[in-house]
Amino acid sequence: MPRLILFNKPYDMLSQFTDRGTDSPRATLSDCIAVPGVYPAGRLDRDSEGLLLLTDDGRLQSRIADPKYKLPKTYLVQVEGDIGDDALAALRQGVALKDGLTRPAEADRIADPGLWPRTPPIRVRKSVPDSWIRLTIREGRNRQVRRMTAAINHPTLRLVRWRIGDWTVDGIAPGEWREQRIEI
Protein backbone atom coordinates (compact mmCIF):
# COMPACT_ATOMS: atom_id res chain seq x y z
CA MET A 1 0.00 0.00 0.00
CA PRO A 2 1.25 3.48 -0.77
CA ARG A 3 2.17 5.84 2.03
CA LEU A 4 0.38 9.16 2.26
CA ILE A 5 1.45 11.93 4.61
CA LEU A 6 -0.85 14.83 5.42
CA PHE A 7 1.35 17.76 6.45
CA ASN A 8 0.33 21.19 7.73
CA LYS A 9 2.95 23.34 6.03
CA PRO A 10 3.75 26.46 8.05
CA TYR A 11 4.13 29.93 6.55
CA ASP A 12 7.63 30.68 5.15
CA MET A 13 8.56 27.05 4.51
CA LEU A 14 9.56 25.73 1.09
CA SER A 15 7.58 22.72 -0.11
CA GLN A 16 10.74 20.80 -0.97
CA PHE A 17 13.31 18.89 1.08
CA THR A 18 16.38 21.00 0.29
CA ASP A 19 17.22 24.66 -0.20
CA ARG A 20 20.11 24.69 -2.63
CA GLY A 21 21.86 27.74 -3.99
CA THR A 22 21.05 30.32 -1.33
CA ASP A 23 23.32 32.06 1.14
CA SER A 24 20.62 32.12 3.81
CA PRO A 25 18.96 28.71 4.07
CA ARG A 26 15.21 28.67 4.52
CA ALA A 27 12.97 26.16 6.27
CA THR A 28 12.21 23.06 4.20
CA LEU A 29 10.18 19.90 4.57
CA SER A 30 13.25 18.12 5.97
CA ASP A 31 12.94 20.30 9.08
CA CYS A 32 9.67 18.53 9.95
CA ILE A 33 9.45 15.27 8.01
CA ALA A 34 12.12 12.59 8.36
CA VAL A 35 10.40 9.92 6.28
CA PRO A 36 12.57 8.52 3.47
CA GLY A 37 11.14 8.04 0.00
CA VAL A 38 8.18 10.42 0.14
CA TYR A 39 7.76 13.42 -2.15
CA PRO A 40 5.25 16.28 -2.32
CA ALA A 41 2.24 15.73 -4.56
CA GLY A 42 2.01 19.31 -5.79
CA ARG A 43 3.34 22.49 -4.30
CA LEU A 44 2.34 25.17 -1.87
CA ASP A 45 4.03 28.57 -2.10
CA ARG A 46 6.39 29.63 0.66
CA ASP A 47 3.97 32.33 1.77
CA SER A 48 0.99 29.94 1.86
CA GLU A 49 0.06 27.56 4.66
CA GLY A 50 -1.88 24.38 5.12
CA LEU A 51 -2.31 20.96 3.61
CA LEU A 52 0.53 19.47 1.62
CA LEU A 53 0.29 15.80 0.68
CA LEU A 54 3.40 13.65 0.35
CA THR A 55 3.56 10.10 -0.98
CA ASP A 56 5.97 7.37 -2.01
CA ASP A 57 3.76 6.29 -4.93
CA GLY A 58 4.21 7.94 -8.34
CA ARG A 59 0.71 7.07 -9.58
CA LEU A 60 -0.88 8.55 -6.47
CA GLN A 61 1.35 11.61 -6.70
CA SER A 62 0.21 12.16 -10.29
CA ARG A 63 -3.45 11.62 -9.41
CA ILE A 64 -3.24 14.25 -6.67
CA ALA A 65 -1.18 16.87 -8.52
CA ASP A 66 -2.18 16.52 -12.19
CA PRO A 67 -4.91 19.05 -13.13
CA LYS A 68 -6.46 16.55 -15.58
CA TYR A 69 -7.94 14.69 -12.58
CA LYS A 70 -9.62 17.92 -11.38
CA LEU A 71 -9.20 17.01 -7.71
CA PRO A 72 -10.89 19.83 -5.75
CA LYS A 73 -8.62 21.95 -3.57
CA THR A 74 -10.27 24.11 -0.91
CA TYR A 75 -8.61 27.19 0.51
CA LEU A 76 -9.49 29.49 3.39
CA VAL A 77 -8.50 32.93 2.17
CA GLN A 78 -8.31 36.17 4.09
CA VAL A 79 -8.65 39.01 1.61
CA GLU A 80 -8.33 42.74 1.83
CA GLY A 81 -11.62 44.63 1.80
CA ASP A 82 -15.22 43.79 2.48
CA ILE A 83 -15.88 41.21 -0.23
CA GLY A 84 -19.36 41.42 -1.74
CA ASP A 85 -21.69 39.29 -3.82
CA ASP A 86 -20.40 40.67 -7.15
CA ALA A 87 -16.83 39.67 -6.36
CA LEU A 88 -17.93 36.19 -5.25
CA ALA A 89 -20.02 35.84 -8.42
CA ALA A 90 -16.94 36.68 -10.51
CA LEU A 91 -14.97 33.89 -8.80
CA ARG A 92 -17.87 31.48 -9.42
CA GLN A 93 -17.96 32.35 -13.13
CA GLY A 94 -14.22 32.25 -13.72
CA VAL A 95 -11.72 35.08 -13.63
CA ALA A 96 -9.70 36.40 -16.57
CA LEU A 97 -6.00 36.08 -15.79
CA LYS A 98 -3.01 36.75 -18.07
CA ASP A 99 -2.82 33.02 -18.87
CA GLY A 100 -6.54 32.72 -19.64
CA LEU A 101 -9.90 32.33 -17.95
CA THR A 102 -9.98 30.22 -14.79
CA ARG A 103 -12.51 27.46 -14.39
CA PRO A 104 -15.52 28.38 -12.28
CA ALA A 105 -14.75 28.11 -8.57
CA GLU A 106 -16.90 27.51 -5.55
CA ALA A 107 -16.70 30.70 -3.51
CA ASP A 108 -18.45 31.65 -0.28
CA ARG A 109 -17.91 34.32 2.32
CA ILE A 110 -17.27 32.75 5.74
CA ALA A 111 -16.80 33.95 9.30
CA ASP A 112 -13.26 34.16 10.64
CA PRO A 113 -12.33 30.45 10.87
CA GLY A 114 -10.26 30.93 14.04
CA LEU A 115 -7.07 29.42 12.65
CA TRP A 116 -3.76 29.09 14.44
CA PRO A 117 -1.73 32.32 14.68
CA ARG A 118 0.59 33.03 11.78
CA THR A 119 4.19 34.05 12.40
CA PRO A 120 4.68 36.77 11.36
CA PRO A 121 1.09 38.00 11.48
CA ILE A 122 -0.50 39.53 8.38
CA ARG A 123 -0.29 43.27 7.95
CA VAL A 124 -3.36 44.96 9.40
CA ARG A 125 -4.58 48.36 8.25
CA LYS A 126 -7.09 49.92 10.60
CA SER A 127 -8.75 51.84 7.76
CA VAL A 128 -9.21 48.79 5.49
CA PRO A 129 -11.42 45.88 6.57
CA ASP A 130 -10.71 42.28 5.65
CA SER A 131 -12.92 39.28 4.84
CA TRP A 132 -12.61 35.50 4.79
CA ILE A 133 -13.74 33.32 1.91
CA ARG A 134 -13.74 29.57 1.25
CA LEU A 135 -12.59 28.98 -2.33
CA THR A 136 -12.56 25.60 -4.08
CA ILE A 137 -10.77 25.24 -7.41
CA ARG A 138 -10.18 22.27 -9.71
CA GLU A 139 -7.03 23.40 -11.45
CA GLY A 140 -3.63 24.40 -10.20
CA ARG A 141 -2.03 27.30 -11.98
CA ASN A 142 0.95 29.03 -10.42
CA ARG A 143 -0.23 31.28 -7.54
CA GLN A 144 -3.75 30.95 -8.92
CA VAL A 145 -5.77 31.83 -5.82
CA ARG A 146 -3.69 34.95 -5.16
CA ARG A 147 -4.04 36.04 -8.78
CA MET A 148 -7.80 35.38 -8.75
CA THR A 149 -8.42 37.49 -5.64
CA ALA A 150 -6.19 40.27 -6.98
CA ALA A 151 -8.17 40.25 -10.25
CA ILE A 152 -11.38 40.98 -8.33
CA ASN A 153 -9.64 43.78 -6.35
CA HIS A 154 -9.40 41.86 -3.07
CA PRO A 155 -5.71 40.97 -2.61
CA THR A 156 -4.93 37.90 -0.53
CA LEU A 157 -3.62 38.58 2.97
CA ARG A 158 -3.49 34.98 4.19
CA LEU A 159 -3.89 31.74 2.25
CA VAL A 160 -4.46 28.35 3.90
CA ARG A 161 -5.09 25.20 1.88
CA TRP A 162 -7.64 23.33 3.96
CA ARG A 163 -8.59 20.36 1.84
CA ILE A 164 -7.47 18.33 -1.19
CA GLY A 165 -10.16 15.89 -2.32
CA ASP A 166 -11.23 14.03 0.83
CA TRP A 167 -8.06 14.83 2.79
CA THR A 168 -8.04 17.75 5.21
CA VAL A 169 -5.59 19.55 7.47
CA ASP A 170 -8.22 19.77 10.22
CA GLY A 171 -6.70 18.65 13.52
CA ILE A 172 -3.07 18.86 12.36
CA ALA A 173 -1.02 21.68 13.90
CA PRO A 174 1.40 23.72 11.75
CA GLY A 175 4.64 21.80 11.25
CA GLU A 176 2.96 18.51 12.22
CA TRP A 177 1.91 15.58 10.06
CA ARG A 178 0.07 12.31 10.17
CA GLU A 179 0.34 9.27 7.98
CA GLN A 180 -2.62 7.66 6.33
CA ARG A 181 -2.58 4.29 4.58
CA ILE A 182 -4.72 4.18 1.47
CA GLU A 183 -5.63 1.73 -1.23
CA ILE A 184 -5.59 2.85 -4.84
| pTM attached to this predicted model | 0.94
Give the residue numbers marked as catalytic. Answer: 45
d(CA 92, CA 87): 9
Q: What is the predicted pLDDT for the residue at 167?
A: 95
- pLDDT at residue 157 in the model: 97
* Structural domains of the chain, ranges and CATH numbers in brackets: 1-69+169-184 (3.30.70.580), 72-164 (3.30.70.1560)
Q: Can you give the pLDDT at residue 106? A: 97
Distance CA 144, CA 154 (A): 14
Length of the chain: 184
How high is the pLDDT of residue 21? 65
Render the burial of 12-49: b for 16+ CB within 10 Å, e for the rest: ebbbeeeeeeeeeeebbbeebbeeeebebbbebbeebb
* pLDDT score at 150: 97
Closest by CA position to 74, among listed 123, 33, 113, 124: 113
**pLDDT of amino acid 143:** 92
Identify whether the C-beta of residue 123 lies closer than 8 Å to the C-beta of residue 78.
no
* CA 168/CA 134 separation, integer angstroms: 14
pLDDT in tens, the chain (184 residues): 889 999 999 999 999 898 776 677 789 999 999 999 999 998 899 999 999 999 999 999 988 888 788 899 999 999 999 999 999 999 999 999 999 999 999 999 999 999 999 988 888 888 889 999 999 999 888 899 999 999 999 999 999 999 999 999 999 999 999 998 776 6
